[in-house]
Chain A
């Protein structure tokens, strides 16, 4: 982890609610891994005061670039949205533990919703580079919010998109699709981010079918680096309930350990 100033290369609207930001930060790209995040200082003033956690959406090692894909939600992300090319972004990271891939895995199923889509894109890139096939079921409110589908396809995933506006994103329907993909593609591991209901559903399948899974979790954060215990959630680790820090012991956890979302 480093504290650094990145230079904004671009910050563009990609849908009515989301922006895509690319940052030049060559000193840090080599350290970055899918599933990790940066703690971003969105403004120089005391409002908002705290940093905002943001997953790495894309790592372009050759060009020294880190990308973020973010939903404009409240004050912090509004400030991010107001940044322009050439501005300096105060970044702290990369933080947390990323996704891990086992060498014996051949195919992965990824289920993501909403802002979780951003977190999953670099996982697909990482898997493809290791010769692992990826199948992604993406869910969002509107077609416009399924932003990373093209990038995920480019990275090598087979992608299905579901939306609330098309009324095909309900959990039961997703469950059936997940079971179909598991059966037809002999999936070795499940990955998810962005939805409590989908995570619960996937945890059930993971336990029932004994397929390992990983989930990237979110929680409000103070320090982002393991010091303050503000981001703690309970997990079931080997039958014992333990309070773990999402920022430093996560944000990626084993699906079977998840209790409260």
Chain B
């Protein structure tokens, strides 16, 4: 079950997705069973987050517009990082910022003992590019990842957004700038309206779609990115079972993150890890890594042709 993602060794390839996991989870199961722990995105200074309602359910999914409510990096350094030390799983701290300078400050502040890697959330709207996110554009991605890369020794995981028509180019840019892995992907920009009141169902008007309805789209992105980059891919989007996680690995992911399903089944990640072990036994696979990118595609329907769709 062991995997190594950008120099971080994990006992299995399953970890929580940022923002869907916190210290409270430790009251439900022993966090040491997880491949890694991933914090909610941290900002430099405390942030209030968006006005409510922040969540709306959709068919087989949900839209959230939490807007990164954060206690600020200092609190995380003093409370969360020490808290997670008691567990025998590497800690990945997710950081989010409005400017490249702020990302660098955060990376420096959080490159402390107890942190195994930084996940850089470049998929949220920023202030430097008219509210677009860095990961919508390869040039911006290169610029910000390169800048952060020079400020820390820790492995960097770049979290990409599906809200771009250039996911492979963005992933290639992240790799070129020195990212050690890419997380594919964050939520999809979306909207729901209450037809009785004609009001959007989340306070922020738009929000990010997550959950099982997004899986085929994100899986396709993992497949495309796998063809173009050499660094490990962490698949994230709609995973609700061991089969979903395995499917992502076959498409090209070396590890997976579970988000929305944690709300549906608070011990979901434990069940997924168990199910993956059983799959490996059933298919006589000695290492799950053998699955990565093993999708059977005949030459005729290779990626370049399929991309014509």
Instruction: Tell me the A residues contacting B by CB distance below 8 Å.
Output: 1, 3, 41, 46-51, 92, 219-234, 243, 248, 260
Contacts and interface: CB of A to CB of B under 8 A. Distances in A.
B177 interface: no
Interface in B225-267: 240, 260, 262-267
B304 interface: no
A51 B56 contact: no
29 contacts: A47-B59, A49-B57, A49-B62, A50-B263, A92-B266, A219-B52, A219-B53, A220-B53, A222-B20, A222-B64, A223-B266, A225-B266, A227-B20, A227-B21, A227-B24, A227-B25, A228-B19, A228-B20, A228-B64, A228-B263, A229-B49, A229-B66, A230-B66, A231-B54, A232-B49, A232-B66, A243-B48, A248-B24, A260-B52
Contacts of B60: 46-47, 49
B56 A220 contact: yes
A230 B56 CA distance: 9
Interface in B197-243: 211-212, 240
B28 A1 contact: yes
Interface in B19-38: 19-22, 24-25, 27-28
A228 B28 contact: no
3 closest pairs, A vs B, by CB? A230-B55, A227-B22, A46-B60
Interface of B: 19-22, 24-25, 27-28, 40, 48-49, 51-57, 59-62, 64, 66, 69, 211-212, 240, 260, 262-267
A233 B55 CA distance: 12
A15 to B, nearest CB: 23
Contacts of A227: 20-22, 24-25, 262
Given A220-B53, A226-B22, A243-B48, A3 B267 contact: yes
A230 B204 CA distance: 12
A50 B57 contact: yes
A3 B28 contact: yes
B20 A232 contact: no
A224 to B, nearest CB: 7
Contacts of A243: 48-49, 69
A34 B23 CA distance: 25
A220 B264 contact: no
